[in-house]
Structure 1
């Protein structure tokens, strides 16, 4: 199976490297600058699960190659439109596209671009960053990628994909209900990124305050109300389950959105919080905490744009 990883950053680079370590046929689609650096220094992963130093096959969008069997996308939402154009030359009639983006709106974009059958479901749980030397740094015990057919069917292509994913030195999980899994992660990441970015604090100090606990609970309940109104495939009472998860996290935990804001980088406000505000407005659901979060994020974006 020919596998194309779009990008060699923290997520695509890590999971691609683990598949390559196993012996899978993996190619990375990268920008010219990243290609040159990897060609000179290799692809390096520093991980508590074992370090890697590999010399992978590389492509840029201007190069030619036969269609791939599966393409894994781990870009930011605001990079998706360009990524879609970049991968078009490498998509064939049988190509599966496996997105690992946060949120849910990207599924519609990919289906619109490549067709309903091409897009399968996916998500991941991992903490990674790119070190100053360009290496991928992965420090947490969790390095999980979850995938499956949207709609829950067990198809021959998913069985084949599972055979190639199994045995990798990372946790590749074939989901029984990837649609529900994606929506549950969407709720969690929207709440976690929203509350830590709004308060400009790790999760620990926020939840220790009674008012902080109340804010987290209210935001989760709003998200559940919106998702219920649009008939999203979520469990009843998921807000309580997600609150328990938030309260079990390490005190020092920050969201990736919060870290991006600290570095004056782009964020996924429209893709995460904004998308659900649109749905709330359509369904007449009141979401004051979510709107407060979104206001904070949009002000950050406006201020950041002015600095450029």
Structure 2
């Protein structure tokens, strides 16, 4: 199976690196600067589950794509998706499957419209990663779950071939019977974690120490109400597990969005918080004028406005 990994950032570099180290036929689609970095330094991943050091890393730019791929693992940022879809014009053939690992759900509509729903799987990953300035990818914990599943009109044998290609590659890969439910649940989790740690500019443990558990729970319940009305309420074991993580005293957990803010980078606030807020009705929150979700999103929008003003 020919696999194209779109992006060699934290997520793409981690899962693509694991697949490449396991002997899969992997090529990275990257910009010239990242490609040169991969040629000069290779790909390094520091992980408690085992480091990866690859000297030879196949990569390509969009203009040089030759022929369609069997599987495209999409790991770009939400704001990059329109350009990435243009880049994939010659990589998508009649039997290509696209597995997006973006946050939220808005990207599915864009991919369906561009390539057809039969080409687009549902997917999500749970992994805490960052990419350093020198290109090294750092894995912060021992979790690296990737789930994917059928949304509509996919050939069962073709999807099973994807499962076989991802199996045994050094990370946990699971073919989910209900991937849309899992994507909604992850969305609730990252919206809560990202919203609260960015709003407070602090880790989960710091927010708990400041007496903010009620704000964390209010934000999670607000996100859950939106999911519930959409037909995807969080399953009770998942809800309990998420709240345990999000209210853990002493936890050093922060969202990748907070790391983006601290570096002065663009964030995925619109895709993660804004889209969720846009789906909310007044009855989804007891006091709409005191919505923690709206406050967190406004905070990040103000950050973005200041960033545009100071870095035109």
Coarse TM-score class (shorter-chain normalised):
over 0.9
Alpha-carbon distance between aligned partners in 2 of 1:220 and 1:4, rounded to the nearest angstrom: 35
Q: Is the 8 A contact 2:45 2:139 kept in 1?
A: yes
Residues 160, 190 of structure 1: CA spacing in aligned structure 2 closer, same or farther, 3 A cutoff?
Answer: same
Unmatched runs of 5 consecutive residues or more in structure 2: none
Residues 267, 256 of structure 1: CA spacing in aligned structure 2 closer, same or farther, 3 A cutoff?
Answer: same
Secondary structure at the aligned position of 2:117 is classed as coil
Unmatched runs of 5 consecutive residues or more in structure 1: none
Secondary structure at the aligned position of 1:94 is classed as coil
Q: CA deviation at 1:235?
A: 2.8
Q: Does 1:254 align with 2:254?
A: yes
Q: Is the 8 A contact 2:208 2:249 kept in 1?
A: no
Range 293-302 or range 51-60, more displaced: 51-60
Alignment-derived partner of residue 278 in structure 2: 278
**Equivalent residue runs for 1:283-294 within 5 Å:** 284-286=283-285, 287=288, 288-294=291-297
Q: CA deviation at 1:154?
A: 8.2
Q: TM-score, normalised by structure 2?
A: 0.92
Q: Find 1:302's aligned residue among 305, 308, 311.
A: 305
1:158-203 CA-partner distances (Å, limit 9, x unpaired): 2111111111111112222111111100000000000010011100
Alignment-derived partner of residue 137 in structure 2: 136
Alpha-carbon distance between aligned partners in 1 of 2:238 and 2:18, rounded to the nearest angstrom: 32
Q: CA deviation at 1:16?
A: 0.7
Alignment-derived partner of residue 7 in structure 1: 7
**Equivalent residue runs for 1:67-106 within 5 Å:** 67-106=68-107
Q: CA deviation at 1:80?
A: 1.0
Alpha-carbon distance between aligned partners in 1 of 2:187 and 2:303, rounded to the nearest angstrom: 22
1:135-175 CA-partner distances (Å, limit 9, x unpaired): 22223111221111126988111211111111111111222
Alpha-carbon distance between aligned partners in 2 of 1:171 and 1:56, rounded to the nearest angstrom: 22
Q: Is the 8 A contact 2:205 2:252 kept in 1?
A: yes
Alpha-carbon distance between aligned partners in 2 of 1:251 and 1:82, rounded to the nearest angstrom: 37
Alignment-derived partner of residue 219 in structure 1: 219
Q: Is the 8 A contact 1:74 1:100 kept in 2?
A: yes
Secondary structure at the aligned position of 1:93 is classed as coil
Q: CA deviation at 1:78?
A: 0.9
Alignment-derived partner of residue 202 in structure 2: 201
Q: CA deviation at 1:231?
A: 2.1
Secondary structure at the aligned position of 1:91 is classed as coil
Q: Does 1:52 align with 2:55?
A: no
Q: TM-score, normalised by structure 1?
A: 0.93
Pairwise CA RMSD of aligned residues? 2.0
Q: CA deviation at 1:128?
A: 1.8
Residues 237, 52 of structure 1: CA spacing in aligned structure 2 closer, same or farther, 3 A cutoff?
Answer: closer
Q: Does 1:168 align with 2:174?
A: no
Runs of 4+ in structure 1 over 3 Å off:
151-154, 236-241, 283-287
Alignment-derived partner of residue 115 in structure 1: 116
Alpha-carbon distance between aligned partners in 2 of 1:236 and 1:142, rounded to the nearest angstrom: 21
Alignment-derived partner of residue 158 in structure 2: 157
Alpha-carbon distance between aligned partners in 2 of 1:78 and 1:122, rounded to the nearest angstrom: 18
